[in-house]
């Protein structure tokens, strides 16, 4: 019992220290997960504050333009039409800023509801996954031989649509956080999310233009008859000849038949000897 008491008397302070360290670590980890999960909500609030500032600036420009119009009307200046044009532009900018503020507030409500639903995927991880999906779709045109031959425009950096995609890809890659990161500054997160959305739109436009160009090139290409296989080429060919025109038949002569010896003998015997001639003497002529 004595040694145990001596050990506790010397090392008693380690238990509170370990408990405190564990509590601090747990709180830090929990706070980090909460901040990572609240990143999209913080970014939406950042956009809302930016929209509020833009609306206040637009209202100030509208009031300044109204003052310019009133001054030009009072002095009957020739710049009255220009002041009216500037006032119309300021009012249009104010209406646009008002709509953007409404959209930002709606986004804040949506992110708050999504945070309450406790989605398993973190906001930054979701944006990184969308970025990787777009890059994988583009790499198919670079690594697949059949796609590269069928749609060569996707690999041509001189084409305007493809060049725009490559520029957007560089911008998104520059704003991409390091691998494994779960937290960002709200302003950086807003910029990165906007770059990924722009990358998706530009890729869709480039892909549509490339597919349309390939289809037009296929329609302009003349049709080539299919080549014969080796078996068909080696097979004996049957030459079909047209029937020759009929040749007029020449009249045939009756075949010349030779008399047989028996027939000649019968003829000679029939005429020889000469029949008896009767004269005045009544005698037969001498042979």
Q: CA-CA distances (angstroms) from residue 255 to 32, 263, 275? A: 126, 18, 35
Q: In this structure, are residues 157 and 163 in contact, taking their beta carbons and an 8 Å threshold? A: yes
**Position 242 pLDDT exceeds 60:** no
Among 213, 203, 209, residue whose Cα is nearest residue 139: 203
Q: In this structure, are residues 134 and 173 in contact, taking their beta carbons and an 8 Å threshold? A: no
Name the more confident of 245 and 113.
113
Compute the average pLDDT of residues 132-136: 95
Kindly report, residue by residue over 28-85, the tens digit of the pLDDT: 334 556 777 888 888 889 888 999 999 999 999 999 998 888 888 888 777 778 888 8
Cα angle, residue 216 at apex, residues 214 and 220 outer, rounded to 5°: 115
Q: CA-CA distances (angstroms) from residue 251 to 67, 228, 240, 248, 255? A: 124, 52, 32, 9, 12
Average pLDDT, the chain: 75
Please report the pLDDT score of residue 193 as a whole number. Answer: 93
**Position 111 pLDDT exceeds 50:** yes
Question: 211 burial class (0-12, 13-18, 19+ CB within 10 angstroms)?
Answer: middle
Please report the pLDDT score of residue 218 as a whole number. Answer: 77
Name the more confident of 253 and 123.
123
Question: Which of 10-14, 195-199, 282-286 has the lowest average pLDDT?
Answer: 282-286
What pTM does this model have?
0.57
Question: 176 burial class (0-12, 13-18, 19+ CB within 10 angstroms)?
Answer: middle
Among 179, 180, 182, 177, residue whose Cα is nearest residue 32: 182
Domain residue extents for the chain: 19-118, 121-217
Please report the pLDDT score of residue 21 as a whole number. Answer: 44
Q: In this structure, are residues 203 and 138 in contact, taking their beta carbons and an 8 Å threshold? A: yes
% residues pLDDT > 90 (the chain):
31
**Position 271 pLDDT exceeds 90:** no
Kindly report, residue by residue over 10-44, the tens digit of the pLDDT: 655 566 655 554 443 433 334 556 777 888 888 88
Please report the pLDDT score of residue 257 as a whole number. Answer: 46
Q: In this structure, are residues 176 and 130 in contact, taking their beta carbons and an 8 Å threshold? A: no
Compute the average pLDDT of residues 243-261: 51
Question: 40 burial class (0-12, 13-18, 19+ CB within 10 angstroms)?
Answer: buried
**Position 287 pLDDT exceeds 90:** no
Query: What is the 8-class DSSP label of residue 89?
Result: H
Instruction: Judge if the upstream peptide bond of residue 164 is cis by omega within 30 degrees of 0.
Output: no
**Position 227 pLDDT exceeds 70:** no
Please report the pLDDT score of residue 114 as a whole number. Answer: 79
Q: At 28, list the tokens.
A: 């830090």
Compute the average pLDDT of residues 195-218: 91
Please report the pLDDT score of residue 16 as a whole number. Answer: 63
Distance (Å, whole) CA 72 – CA 257: 139
């Amino acid at each position: 019992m004595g040694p145990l008491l001596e050990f506790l008397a010397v090392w008693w302070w380690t238990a509170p220290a370990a408990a405190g360290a564990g509590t601090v670590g747990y709180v830090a980890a929990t706070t980090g997960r909460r901040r990572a999960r609240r990143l999209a909500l913080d970014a939406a609030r950042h956009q809302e504050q930016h929209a509020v500032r833009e609306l206040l600036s637009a209202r100030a420009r509208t009031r300044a333009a109204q003052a310019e119009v009133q001054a030009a009307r009072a002095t009957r200046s020739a710049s009255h039409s220009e002041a009216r044009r500037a006032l119309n532009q300021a009012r249009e900018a104010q209406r646009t800023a008002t709509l953007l503020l409404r959209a930002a507030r709606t986004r804040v409500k949506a992110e708050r509801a999504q945070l309450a639903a406790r989605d398993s995927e973190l906001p930054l991880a979701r944006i990184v996954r969308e970025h990787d999906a777009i890059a994988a779709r583009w790499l198919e045109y670079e690594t697949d031989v059949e796609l590269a031959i069928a749609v060569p425009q996707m690999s041509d950096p001189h084409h305007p649509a493809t060049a725009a995609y490559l520029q957007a890809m560089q911008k998104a890659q520059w704003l991409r956080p390091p691998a494994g990161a779960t937290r960002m500054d709200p302003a950086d997160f807003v910029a990165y999310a906007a770059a990924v959305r722009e990358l998706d739109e530009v890729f869709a436009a480039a892909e549509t233009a490339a597919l349309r160009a390939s289809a037009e090139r296929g329609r302009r290409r003349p049709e080539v008859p299919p080549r014969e296989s080796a078996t068909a080429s080696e097979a004996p060919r049957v030459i079909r000849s047209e029937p020759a025109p009929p040749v007029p038949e020449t009249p045939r002569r009756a075949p010349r038949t030779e008399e047989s010896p028996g027939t000649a003998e019968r003829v000679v015997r029939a005429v020889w000897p000469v029949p008896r001639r009767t004269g005045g003497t009544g005698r037969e002529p001498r042979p």
